[in-house]
Amino acid sequence: MRHDESVDFEPYRGELVAFCYRMLGSFHEAEDLVQETLLRAWKARDRYDPARASVRTWLYRIATNVCLTALEGRARRPLPSGLGAPSDDPGAPLVPAHDVPWLEPFPDARFDVEIRVDLRLAWVAAVQVLPARQRAVLVLRDVLAFSAAEVAEQLGTTVTAVNSALQRARVALAGVADAGAVTEPDDPEVRAVVQRYMLAFEAADVPALVRLLADDAVLEMPPVPLWYRGSRDYGRFMERVFAMRGTGWGLRELTANGQPALAAYAPEPGGGHRLHTLQVFAVTDGRIVRNVVFADPRVFDAFELSREISSGDFRRER
């Protein structure tokens, strides 16, 4: 490094993890790729020229190339709603599809990154459909606000090619639901809706849950490929859940992808509660429009969730 041997790459780790996550849809892979990015940067530090680019721009060039290499030959990471029609059978077998590389949620609390609509699950899922280079252009230009010239340099292409790829990416995403209509998790109305949902869930009160749903609310449960649309089928499925797992659940509030989320703990026959799912909500106009329910232990690890909790822990939190 020509001018400053002591430059610190670490302050960029959080935003680089968020960037790689948007590119790959996997939090675990994003962490690994950022580690590789920072290692490459450290090894190449003597060749960095601050007259040509800032450290941040230079790191994003490395991270972009690392992500594009990782995406070669990869299948996209979907949510169940991206693979087929909804089910109308609340009793359908809950068979996980472990061969599908499912989209993973992002644990906001672990990183000092600004919560924005570009981390929302629906947006990240939609971006996964784009070809890798279009995906990179969209995130670098529209999310991170790099100039077309900077992105062209990062991708080793021309400004014209960057602008063309950006236009195609925007057209491809034009049909995605307006992420801006989804309010932030600390919005008082959103918090009130989520807290009412918590109370209804803990009481196994399905009619109360259904009253909090939009008419066309979506429930999906990766790695199970089933998903449901509509408050009626959502409620019928929840009746099945409570019939199977009983009442007296405990829930904890958190956030994921800039959205309200709950860690749901099912009651254990001998007492206490065991972690069952992480549920990530989209709330619009005072109603829950989507709940993505994750049951993968790797997701639990990413959010650093306790696997077992005593009943007293929930009472102390209220």
pLDDT of residue 309: 87
pLDDT of residue 185: 75
318 pLDDT above the threshold of 80: no
The DSSP bridge partners found for residue 195 are: none
Mean pLDDT lowest among 31-35, 53-57, 201-205, 251-255: 53-57
Q: Residue with structure tokens 């800039």? A: 258
Backbone angles phi, psi at 8, to 5 degrees: -105, 115
Burial class (CB in 10 A: 0-12, 13-18, 19+), 240: middle
Helix axes 27-43, 55-71, angle to 10 degrees: 130
Q: Give the pLDDT band of residue 111 (cuts 50, 70, 90).
A: confident
Report the C-alpha gap between 74 and 240 in whole angstroms.
Answer: 36
The contacts of residue 203 (CB under 8 Å, 6+ apart) are 247
Which CATH superfamily hosts domain 10-177?
PhyR, sigma-like (SL) domain (1.20.140.160)
184 pLDDT above the threshold of 80: no
Report the C-alpha gap between 96 and 225 in whole angstroms.
Answer: 7
pLDDT in tens, 135-160: 999 999 999 999 999 999 999 999 99
Question: Quick one: which of 107, 95, 88 has its CA closest to 21?
Answer: 107
The HSE-up count of residue 291 (CA atoms within 13 Å, CB side) is 31
64 pLDDT above the threshold of 70: yes
The domains of the chain are located at 10-177, 181-317
Structure tokens at 308: 């077992």
Cα 115 off chain centre by: 11
254 three-class SS: strand
6 pLDDT above the threshold of 70: no
Report the C-alpha gap between 221 and 278 in whole angstroms.
Answer: 10
pLDDT of residue 34: 97
Report the C-alpha gap between 107 and 99 in whole angstroms.
Answer: 23
Question: Quick one: which of 55, 61, 63, 56 has its CA closest to 153?
Answer: 61
Contact call for residues 138 and 173 (beta carbons, < 8 A):
yes
Backbone angles phi, psi at 193, to 5 degrees: -65, -45
3 pLDDT above the threshold of 50: no
pLDDT in tens, 269-301: 888 899 999 999 999 999 999 999 999 999 999
* pLDDT above 90: percentage of residues in the chain: 74
- 181-317 adopts what CATH topology? Nuclear Transport Factor 2; Chain: A, (3.10.450)
Query: Average pLDDT for residues 168-182, to the nearest whole number?
Result: 71
pLDDT in tens, 210-226: 999 999 999 999 999 99
The HSE-up count of residue 191 (CA atoms within 13 Å, CB side) is 6
Helix spans in the chain (H): 13-24, 27-43, 55-71, 121-127, 132-138, 148-155, 159-172, 188-202, 206-211, 231-245, 297-302, 311-317
Q: First and final CA of the chain: distance in angstroms?
A: 53
Report the C-alpha gap between 96 and 99 in whole angstroms.
Answer: 9
